[in-house]
Chain A
């Protein structure tokens, strides 16, 4: 594997080996010395053409724990905000000798453009491209679900996951639908019809407009961030009405199965798609998702740059 652009690039065993590698690396992170020498002397560029502090920091921490040199290249104040083309940026990074580029970009397909082009030769990791995919987020979500609810197996078969909110514009949803179904989970998408893409019928997921009827039957409720500006685009009448039908509050949470968990990729709109009581409840694994993000991103960089998965049980 040279790039990670989309979950559709992964076979089931690829995905599981990334999760297994992440589990091994998490043991290292729990130790007193958090660093591994694996990527010493390698250069990883975080090319963030769109603001995302948490994803950038997570990749930065992951690279540093593998002893790579990290260069951060962000939109604000860089040549990206001065109209430099993706091609010129890529050629600059190539000239600097980047071994891998972690790219966050507002344009769907930007990571694939970079990987398919002859502008640079390093590995490309998609850290979120427009409304297309966010594969590292899906992998950390699957890792978190497996850790909490996995029935001893390496995959997620037998589990049921609801993804709730703005599916239309969500790269997190696209990657998660692909990955969770690949790992054997049953996925239900819950949203107002306006926020579901036309052409969704052959996705490996079922669709519901009724959150209340879905919640009691799932093991995981994954809430998505709703952008305030969707209101002006007529996707729903107002925040109150959205919240009433599609927000996760304490009352709805009380109908969840015992042991079921609540997830959110962040950043949260408390009071809109998720109430404070839910976000801070015992069912919430939202903070743990962030912690697991570092291990999973270490695993991604490890697999791409160190040439394969870490053997389970090795050091």
Chain B
């Protein structure tokens, strides 16, 4: 007699097929509508879609150093609420994750939290200064097994440093995730340079400062035959360059954030720093180019750039405020709103852009696997027919800087499963964290 820990009754697979999904012993144990056996928990999921657990390639968990903004545990809780089973902790912590010691600490904190896998990203350069390479090999060989390296927050702007980094990571099949921002063109920049910045008197961050670095780096990646990932692409021009590079066979991938798929720079006219983010919100034309690029595969993945900040960092003048906004808890709803409900993506493609491909880019085992019997049960269940209203006072992140406060969004995540265990169930995060 077979038994199952959970049975998702009448659920839709990403391709629309209806079935029952049984979870047992941490794995998907059955995918058929005639499961016969003992079930501990039956979940009526007839309006729901199951996707492989979401994988975020770009997350700021702030620990160590800024535990007032977020911790690995609080970020993990926000993650499972958003349907994630893996997140990638960016290196711009304090101390910077530029040694094996720091990445192992972050990795261990993730294991202790136990709600999802936390994969540390290593810094490309020591202290994110863009000068000397950090201990990339030691981080790759550490318990954290780092494969993604990024100075995110800063651009690796020196072309020679970028070239060497791209070459060096070939040793173990790593990838450099570039924050594409020419620093000289963006000194003191506050928002997208264009009609709005001209009117508001806020210093502009021109699209060309992103595009010039992307163009340079795809050429470098081609020259040294290495792997490049472009973080948070925001411009229509950047999309064109990536499209060109891929057509040439250059090994480049790109991500877009949920907020750049929805929000535009006219929101800055409120001078409310909740809309201040780096790279900045762009124009309607850019938003449309990004959506099309995500649909046609030019942009490979959605990554949140979840960037928690304490209240005081946003409750001030625009130019004094910190850059960044929360993303984990709203990512899937924003993707449904901007990409699924208008027919640009189907749920299979959402699984690809938010789980399968980010897991492949990061080299994350047991994530982004096809939904099949025997796969590790890292799953998210979403009810796309329901709506919910974002309330910044109810977020699970330690910070509350969400730009969607008061927005009604489609798609309610009902359950998240991590290695076959329920980590999230209708508003409640499992207390198994720490086990």
Contact = CB atoms under 8 A, between A and B. Distances in A.
Q: Do A and B come from one complex?
A: yes
Interface of A: 85-87, 105, 107-110, 112-113, 116, 129-133, 171, 174, 197-203
Contact of A174 (B199, B270, B319): B199
B29 to A, nearest CB: 54
Interface in B289-322: 312, 315-320
Interface of A is mostly: loop
B345 to A, nearest CB: 32
A197 B317 contact: no
A197 B197 contact: yes
B316 A87 contact: yes
B44 interface: no
B270 A199 contact: no
B198 interface: yes
Contacts of A113: 271-272, 316-318
Interface string B198-209: 111111101000
Nearest to B196: A199
B194 A199 contact: yes
Contacts of A197: 197-198, 204
B198 A203 contact: yes
A6 B312 CA distance: 26
Interface residues of B, number: 23
Contacts of B202: 108-109, 130-132
A86 B200 CA distance: 19
B194 A130 contact: no
A199 B317 contact: no
Contacts of A198: 193-194, 197-198, 204, 206
B195 interface: yes
A200 B317 CA distance: 24
Nearest to A87: B315
A199 B198 contact: yes
Nearest to A111: B271
28 contacts: A85-B315, A86-B316, A86-B317, A87-B316, A107-B319, A108-B202, A108-B271, A108-B319, A109-B200, A109-B317, A113-B271, A113-B272, A113-B318, A130-B201, A130-B319, A132-B202, A174-B199, A174-B201, A198-B193, A198-B194, A198-B204, A199-B193, A199-B195, A199-B198, A199-B199, A201-B195, A202-B195, A203-B199
A108 B198 contact: no
Contacts of B318: 107-109, 113
A85 B270 contact: no
Contact of A132 (B193, B201, B316, B320): B201
A200 B270 contact: no
Interface hub of A86, A108, A112, A130 (most chain B Cβ within 10 A) = A108
Contacts of A108: 200-202, 271, 318-319
Nearest to B312: A85
Contacts of B320: 107
A171 B202 CA distance: 11
A3 to B, nearest CB: 13
Given A87-B315, A105-B317, 12 more contacts: A108-B271, A108-B318, A109-B318, A116-B271, A130-B201, A131-B202, A132-B200, A132-B202, A171-B201, A174-B201, A199-B195, A200-B198
Nearest to A202: B195
B317 A107 contact: yes
Nearest to B271: A109
Nearest to A167: B198
B201 A131 contact: yes
Contacts of B198: 197-200, 203
Contacts of A85: 312, 315-316
Rank and list the top 9 A-B pairs by shortest CB-CB distance, nearest first. A109-B271, A132-B201, A197-B198, A107-B317, A131-B201, A199-B198, A199-B195, A108-B201, A199-B194
Interface in B358-398: none
Contacts of A110: 271, 317
A225 to B, nearest CB: 16
A225 B318 CA distance: 25
A116 B199 CA distance: 19
A145 to B, nearest CB: 23
A108 B312 CA distance: 18
Contacts of A201: 195
Contacts of B197: 197-199
Nearest to B197: A199
A5 B325 CA distance: 27
Contacts of B271: 108-110, 112-113, 116
Contacts of A107: 317-320
A131 B69 CA distance: 31
Contact of B270 (A105, A116, A130): A116
Contacts of A200: 198
A198 B203 CA distance: 10
A201 B199 CA distance: 11
A116 to B, nearest CB: 7
Contacts of A131: 201-203
Contacts of B200: 108-109, 132
Contacts of B316: 85-87, 113
Nearest to A177: B199
A263 B318 CA distance: 32
Nearest to A173: B201
Nearest to A170: B201
A132 B194 CA distance: 14
Contacts of B203: 131
Contact of A133 (B195, B201, B315, B319): B201
Q: Which of A105, A112, A129, A200 has the most CB of B within 10 A?
A: A112
A230 to B, nearest CB: 14
Contacts of B270: 112, 116
A126 to B, nearest CB: 11
B115 to A, nearest CB: 35
A200 B202 CA distance: 13
A166 B202 CA distance: 15
A199 B318 CA distance: 20
